[in-house]
Amino acid sequence: MNLRGPEHQIIPKWLTESDCDILYDRVIETEEYVKSTGADEAAALGQYSAYKETDALGGRAGSYNHLDDPVIYNIMMPAIRSIFNVGLQVRMWANTFRKGEGLGIHAHRDAADPKGPKESWASCVVYCGGPSDGTWFNFQVEKGVYKDFHIKNNKGDLIIFSADVPHWVPPHDTDGIRVSIAFDVSAGNGVGDARMLRPVK
């Protein structure tokens, strides 16, 4: 798969349920360590403004790449390699949301590569488990016309979308931790800080 294509695509059961369970446990197990690597950049950008303020794991995308964790790498890299070309660059982070927590509307392109061509990179997310009311996306349905779409989070499904598509995660109101892993894939070196990029190999 190259990076040029429709605004979104879903690959059902991209990861197995057992792989999702391993990732879920690993993300929670390493959460405090990853938070210690840097400040919550998403909070600084006001991305929680609509929801409960939180010290979010996902806000560490600029200080930690989850592909540096061997457990996560050994599951995620072969899966990424199965759909993306070797030689692309990946920035990966995990999200954990507890009761009352969510992520306000945002897009990845502005933060990562505001001057790069839209087709040069894509964003992806896989839901690993926990309570979830799905993810919302604001897709262009025709030239100049945008519409909000709700996509259910099915365990192991991969959602691929254009990196400039606004999206958000509503807070859930049940106990438990929602865990997802997100990543940006770039054809060049235009996904934020080059120190956070890892090659597809």
> Tokens standing for 82?
């199965």
More confident residue, 96 or 197: 96
Terminal-to-terminal C-alpha distance of the chain: 15
Mean pLDDT (the chain) is 80
What pLDDT does residue 46 have?
Answer: 53
In terms of Cα–Cα distance, which of 100, 101, 118 is closest to 109?
Answer: 118
- Residue 41: is its pLDDT beyond 80? no
Is pLDDT at 141 greater than 60 in this prediction? yes
Of all helices (H) and strands (E), which one includes residue 8? strand 8-11
Write down the CATH number for the domain with range 8-199: 2.60.120.620
How far apart CA 193 and CA 191 sit, in angstroms, is 7
175 contact partners, CB below 8 Å, separation of at least 6: 99, 131
- Separation of alpha carbons 196 and 191, rounded Å: 8
How many angstroms separate the CA atoms of 123 and 103, rounded?
16
**Separation CA 66–CA 122 (nearest Å):** 17
- Average pLDDT, stretch 140-165? 88
Mean pLDDT of 64-83: 93
Q: Report which of 181, 150, 192, 155 is spatially closest to residue 80, judged by C-alpha positions.
A: 181
What is the average per-residue pLDDT within 65-81?
Answer: 94
Residues 25 and 158: beta-carbon distance below 8 Å: no
Q: Is the pLDDT of residue 3 over 70?
A: no
**170 has pLDDT over 70:** yes
Map out the domains of the chain as residue ranges: 8-199
Sheet holding 121-129, edge to edge: 8-11, 158-162, 121-129, 178-186, 89-97, 198-199
Residue 111 has pLDDT above 80, yes or no: no
Least Cα distance to 3 among 125, 110, 105, 117 occurs for: 117
Calpha distance 179→96 (Å, rounded): 5
The predicted model gives 164-192 an average pLDDT of 82
Residue 142 pLDDT: 81
Distances from the Cα of 3 to the Cαs of 68, 120, 178, in angstroms?
Answer: 23, 6, 28
Asked if residue 184 lies in contact with residue 86, where contact means CB atoms within 8 angstroms, the answer is no
Answer yes or no: is pLDDT of 66 > 70. Answer: yes
Decide if pLDDT at 64 tops 50. Answer: yes
**Banded model confidence at residue 53, pLDDT cuts 50, 70, 90:** very low
Alpha carbons 107 and 8: distance in angstroms, whole number: 14
The DSSP call for residue 171 is: P
